[in-house]
Structure 1
Amino acid sequence: MAIVARARAMRKALTPAEARLWVALRALRAEGLHFRRQAPLRSYFLDFACADRFLIVEVDGASHDDEDRARKDRVRDAVLAREGWRTLRYTNLAVRDELEALVEDVRMHCLARPTRSALRADHPPRDGEGEAPRS
């Protein structure tokens, strides 16, 4: 199955916790924070990603308690961290029982991170890039 098709299928099969969090994260659009669900990145599928802030939100069920799965999660988080991404992990129970506080935590992490455009502004164009001199 192609990556985009798989992501679409995964979006239609959200867990109850993911569906609940998705509704709450969509409310953050009013503050300019746009999340995508089941977003493909490299060989991974991110539960939720705010690409402008390089922030990933993962909802972990009981399967993530398994040591092998937890190790894979740590490796994935480290790989993505090297590219500037920050991963926040919450349990299904936290989504169920503490949704308001959890969303506020996500919001605060987003607002504390620079935007993509701010990161680009910190790096001047390389030689040969940017606007050509006008004559």
Structure 2
Amino acid sequence: MKPYNKNLKQVSRDLRNNMTEAEKLLWSRLRNKQILGLQFYRQKPILNYIVDFYCPAANLVVECDGSQHYTDEGLEADRVRDEALAQLGLKVLRFYNGQVLGEIAGVEEAIYHYCFKESP
């Protein structure tokens, strides 16, 4: 199990109950082991962060990014976060919300190909 801040448990529950439309759509494609039989978790606390989706078997984090991620501050925060997650051996795949909503098949294919390459 990856280290996490126990204070984030309630926040992650709240986020699971209030997912964005992009997160809901992507979750409909990841849940129930639909990609290579791999288990994904949503709104999972890791370190001091809550990642959108996490697959422990593939050491993969998948993020759905809204417009706040594309500001100077957001890009820097994501860089720091991705670096911290990489220190745990995790790969972060980022997709912007419009990409998830408009090109879900391509997003799903990118995740599939990464997992296929990385899964045991």
> Could you state the TM-score of these two structures normalised by the residue count of structure 1?
0.79
Q: 1:70 to 1:47 in 2, by over 3 A?
A: same
Letter in 2 for 1:110: C
Question: How much does 1:31 deviate?
Answer: 2.3
CA–CA distance in 1 between the matches of 2:95 and 2:74? 15
Question: How much does 1:42 deviate?
Answer: 0.6
CA–CA distance in 1 between the matches of 2:106 and 2:38? 17
Question: How much does 1:114 deviate?
Answer: 4.3
Let me know the Cα RMSD of the aligned residues.
1.6
Q: In the TM superposition, what are the counterparts of 1:81-120 in structure 2 within 5 Å? A: 81-115=86-120
Letter in 2 for 1:2: N
CA–CA distance in 1 between the matches of 2:86 and 2:107? 21
Question: How much does 1:82 deviate?
Answer: 1.6
The answer for the alignment partner of 1:133 in structure 2 is none
Question: How much does 1:99 deviate?
Answer: 0.2
The answer for the alignment partner of 2:46 in structure 1 is 41
Contact 1:28 1:107 in 2 (8 A): no
The answer for the alignment partner of 1:70 in structure 2 is 75
> Could you state the TM-score of these two structures normalised by the residue count of structure 2?
0.89
* Greater relative contact order, per chain length (Cα 8 Å cut-off, separation 6+): 2
CA–CA distance in 2 between the matches of 1:47 and 1:11? 9
Q: 1:72 to 1:16 in 2, by over 3 A?
A: same
Count of equivalent residues: 115
Contact 2:35 2:112 in 1 (8 A): no
Letter in 2 for 1:70: L
User: Which has the higher Rg, Structure 1 or Structure 2?
Assistant: 1
CA–CA distance in 2 between the matches of 1:20 and 1:65? 21
The runs of at least 4 aligned residues of structure 1 exceeding 2 Å deviation read 27-31
Question: How much does 1:110 deviate?
Answer: 1.1
